[in-house]
């Protein structure tokens, strides 16, 4: 599929989606959000892809929404855009394979929200994070008010949301917003690729089960979440992959997973 505002490349079972509007610091306009949805669907529907890296070109991951476009929209159009963005960002969060955000620069506003939807976030030490929407007289519209507190805790999230403060990668790591910080002299995409290779060497059904169980368990009681875990654990016991994994462990050899 041809894209205008992103690039899409596949290598070694890994799809790399790059937001590519460097002249706009990769700001998210309506068309770019649409293309992100198409790209993650392409990855999700391609059997040989085991994982996804999401990154940005130039100095930014995604510096936020396209304010010029946003300011011209009427309230009903803003509502539709918010719902559309939430749905498309959610496709990254619910992807049945690991999705890593390789944050190479500014991840502000919608960019921070997009990173929050990925399963893991790796940041260059030059990266910056924040939800500065309050400075524009509004709030995040793509899930930031909900995912940020779930990730870093209510108090820290309220501080970032209400001050509009921008933090560096070291602080983002300290509060649990990112999983790893990479020196500026190293490629954050290469670091993401290395971690992703480690992940996709494991059973694909198990990876899918982890995504589903963690996501589904967020909004139910602990007893209900534990029951979900037990049921999926039992389901995987029926799989060829678990049989192969346990057999390979006992035979002291690498497993050969088939996703079945």
103 forms beta bridges with 123
Helix, strand or coil, per DSSP, at residue 188 = helix
Instruction: Fill in the DSSP letter of residue 56.
Output: E
DSSP assignment, residue 238?
T
Catalytic residue among 69, 125, 133, 235: 133
Angle separating helix axes 204-217 and 240-250, nearest 10 degrees: 110
- In a 13 Å sphere around the CA of 59, the CA atoms on its Cβ side amount to 4
CB atoms within 10 A of CB 194: 11
Q: 204 near 241, Cβ under 8 Å?
A: yes
* Residue 22 tokens, joined: 């460097």
Residue 133 is among the residues annotated as catalytic for this protein: yes
Catalytic residue among 35, 113, 231, 244: 113
Question: By CB neighbour count within 10 A (0-12 exposed, 13-18 middle, 19+ buried), where does 109 fall?
Answer: buried
Catalytic residues: 113, 133
């Amino acid at each position: 599929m041809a894209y205008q505002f992103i690039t899409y490349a596949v290598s070694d079972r890994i799809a790399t989606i790059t937001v590519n509007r460097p002249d706009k610091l990769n700001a998210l306009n309506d068309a770019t959000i649409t293309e992100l949805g198409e790209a993650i669907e392409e990855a999700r529907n391609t059997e040989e892809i085991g994982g996804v890296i999401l990154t940005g070109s130039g100095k930014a991951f995604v510096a936020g929404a396209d304010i010029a476009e946003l300011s011209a929209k009427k309230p009903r159009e803003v509502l539709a855009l918010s719902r559309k963005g939430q749905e498309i960002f959610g496709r990254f969060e619910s992807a049945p394979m690991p999705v890593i955000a390789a944050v190479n620069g500014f991840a502000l506003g919608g960019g921070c929200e997009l990173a929050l939807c990925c399963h893991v976030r790796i940041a260059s030490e030059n990266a910056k994070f924040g939800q500065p929407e309050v400075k524009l007289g509004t709030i995040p519209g793509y899930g930031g008010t909900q995912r940020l507190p779930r990730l870093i805790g209510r108090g820290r999230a309220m501080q970032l949301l209400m001050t509009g403060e921008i933090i560096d990668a070291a602080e983002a790591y300290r509060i649990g917003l990112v999983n790893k910080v990479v020196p500026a002299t190293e490629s954050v995409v290469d670091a993401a690729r290395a971690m992703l290779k480690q992940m996709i060497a494991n059973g694909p059904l198990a990876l899918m089960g982890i995504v589903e169980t963690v996501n589904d368990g967020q909004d139910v009681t602990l007893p209900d979440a534990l029951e979900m875990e037990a049921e999926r654990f039992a389901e995987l016991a029926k799989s060829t992959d678990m049989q192969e994994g346990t057999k390979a462990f006992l035979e002291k050899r690498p497993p050969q997973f088939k996703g079945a």
